[in-house]
Structure formats: C-alpha cells, structure tokens
Amino acid sequence: MSLQGTTTGAGVAAARSSASAWDMDPPRLGPLAYYTCFKGIVWREVLRYLHQRERFLSALVRPLVWLFIFAAGFRQTLGVSIIPPYETYVLYEVFITPGLIGMIQLFNAMQSSLSMVYDRETGAMRTLLVSPFPRSFLLLSKLVGGVAVSLLQVYAFLAVAYFWEIEPPLYGYFTLLPALILSGLMLGSLALFMSSVIRQLENFAGVMNFVIFPMFFASSALYPLWRVKESSVLLYHVCQLNPFSHAVELIRFALYGQVNWISLAAVLGFTAAFLGGAIYAYNPSKGLIGRRGGPGAGA
C-alpha cells in the first residue's frame, strides 16, 4: 500500500513537472506551421469578402458616385493647376482618382475593424488569440488579409474608371502596387488599434463620424492643399499632419511612376506607430483588451 502510494505520488509529481515544463517551454512552431496559419487567416478574409457581394458593390458605388457625379459638378469650380506629379493641366476627375483610391482603402480598413469587433462579440477572436502563435503574428496576418481585399477593390475601381477616360500610364498600374500595400498597412493598422477601443458594434457609427470623415475631408483627396491654404492656414497644417493625406499623395505619385519621399517616410512612420499601438492594445496583460477583460485577457 505504501509502495503504491509512493508510486502514485511520484506519478503526480512527474505530471506536474511535465506540465510546468510545457508552460515554461512551449512547443516550437516551424515555418510550415506559420505559413499554414498565415494562409488560413488571409484566405478567410478574402473568402469573406468574395461571399459578401453587397460589400463589393458598396466599395465600388461610393467612389464611383464621387467620380461620375460630384466630379462633374465641381469640375468648373475646383480647377487644378500644374502641380507634381502632373506635367500638364488635368481634369478634376483625374486629380481626385488617387483620393478615391485612398477612400476605398480607408473604408475597407474600417470594415476590417468592424469585423474584429464582431468576432470579439461572437467569441471567434478568442479562439484565434489563444492559439500558440504570437499575437503580433496573428494581428499582422489579419492585417495583410485586409490589405489583400483592398487591392481587389482598388483594381476593380480602376478597371471601371478606365472607361471614364481615367487613363494613367500603363506602368502606373504596376508602380501603384507598392504604394497601395504601404497605405493599406497604415490604414489597416489604425483600424486594428481602433477595434481594441470600440466595445460594441453600436459604437461603430460614431467612429465613422468622428474618425473616417474628418480624415477623408481634411486631406488632399478632393482638393489640392494650395487651395486649402488660400482659405485657411490652420486647416492647411491640419491636412499636412493628416496620415491620410500622405497616403493619398503616395498613391498619387506612384500612379505616375514617381515617389513622394516625404509621404513615404510619413506613411512608414505612422504604420509603425499604429501597428505598435495595436499590438500593445491586444496584449492580455498590458493592453486595452486586457484591462477591459476582453478575449484572451486571461490567457
């Protein structure tokens, strides 16, 4: 009896020791596991987008309304002088096309933020965040998935705009891609951070009013900044500090095979800041999610 008790005690101690060793030294995940996880998260975002036809149509209708209706009305009012990267006078439709591309990416990023809040309420995010993969890797994978969706939306918009005589140089469709990826990462990182602040789906409308629209209208998306400076110097400086302005200018120059180095540096800096803030916010012990007892807070 004593021998059996000793054996049982030794087994329990060994099991506890094994569990402690497991907690202290989790199993290492190889490159194949990371690739499989990354592909699964990105593909899930793309499939979710492809299966939501209403989202595809709304992503196209919004910028097309600005291109076909508002641009026609403002063409005579908002003249555009010869400013880089343009080498001649351009129609107002041509000028606002990069801004409308940025609009597509901005609203797509906010849709990704909405899906994060929805996944948190339904518990789907808890399953994701308690996986053995680093949270930073999971958030980056979801961010890349959102960027991939925005690329599909942008090139679909450009295909329609082509028949409206919006014809950038052919090489512009290729040089535009890196700018779209960088601007998409910046706006998506901002959306990730915002998703940690939004507590309920009902609060998303407020975010639309107080974040998205000010960012869009206080930028160079719809009018050149020199015209803004003529009417309000204060608003001009606000537009210059707006991250969305730099994203639009990066897209504008890339569409003509050029690089706006100031906007490039600003986009990279804002991306690092927003992504760092999102990773910190989703930290279970330090971030906003952990403080509010969100998914994975006790993991």
Of 81-85, 149-153, 168-172, the range with the lowest mean pLDDT is: 81-85
Q: Are 275 and 143 in contact (CB under 8 A)?
A: yes
Asked if the model's pLDDT at residue 268 lies above 70, the reply is yes
pLDDT at 32 over 50: yes
Residue 136 clears pLDDT 90, i.e. is over it: no
**Structure tokens belonging to residue 52:** 């939501």
Work out the pLDDT band at 61, boundaries 50, 70, 90: confident
Neighbours of 4 (CB within 10 A): 8
Please state, for a pLDDT cut of 90, what percent of the chain lies above it: 27
**CA-to-CA distance for 253 and 178, rounded, in angstroms?**
12
CA distance 212 to 130: 31
How far is Cα 152 from Cα 56, in angstroms, rounded to an integer? 9
Asked if residue 296 has pLDDT above 50, the reply is: no
What was the pLDDT predicted at 24?
45
| pLDDT value of residue 184 | 93
What's the sign of the alpha-carbon dihedral 86, 91, 95, 101? negative
Cβ neighbours, 10 Å, residue 51 = 9
User: Greater confidence, 147 or 132?
Assistant: 147
Cis peptide before 284 (omega within 30 of 0): no
When the pLDDT of each residue in the chain is averaged and rounded to a whole number, the result is 79
Whether 140 and 288 have beta carbons less than 8 Å apart is answered as no
Average pLDDT over residues 152-178: 89
Task: Write the CA distances from 256 to 169, 171, 250, integer angstroms.
Answer: 6, 8, 10
Q: Measuring CA to CA, how many Å separate 180 from each of 39, 74, 186?
A: 20, 27, 10
The pair of structure tokens assigned to 150 is 């925005």
Contacts (Cβ under 8 Å, ≥6 apart) of 246: 260, 262, 263, 266, 267, 270
Whether 269 shows a pLDDT value over 90: the answer reads yes
Instruction: Please enumerate in sequence order all residues whose Cβ is within 8 A of that of 144, keeping only pairs 6 or more positions apart, or say none.
Output: 38, 42
Could you tell me if 184 and 58 are in contact, meaning their C-beta atoms sit under 8 angstroms apart? no
Q: d(Cα 199, Cα 132) in Å, to the nearest integer?
A: 25
CA gyration radius for the chain? Answer: 24
Residue 122: predicted pLDDT: 67
Cβ-Cβ contacts under 8 Å for 157 (sequence gap 6 or more): 59, 60, 63, 64, 100, 101, 104
Q: Between 202 and 191, whose confidence is greater?
A: 191
Q: Which residues contact 110 (CB under 8 A, 6 or more apart)?
A: 191, 194, 204, 207, 208, 211, 212
Helices (H), the chain: 2-24, 31-50, 53-65, 71-74, 92-122, 124-129, 135-162, 172-197, 204-207, 213-217, 225-231, 233-241, 243-254, 261-281, 288-291
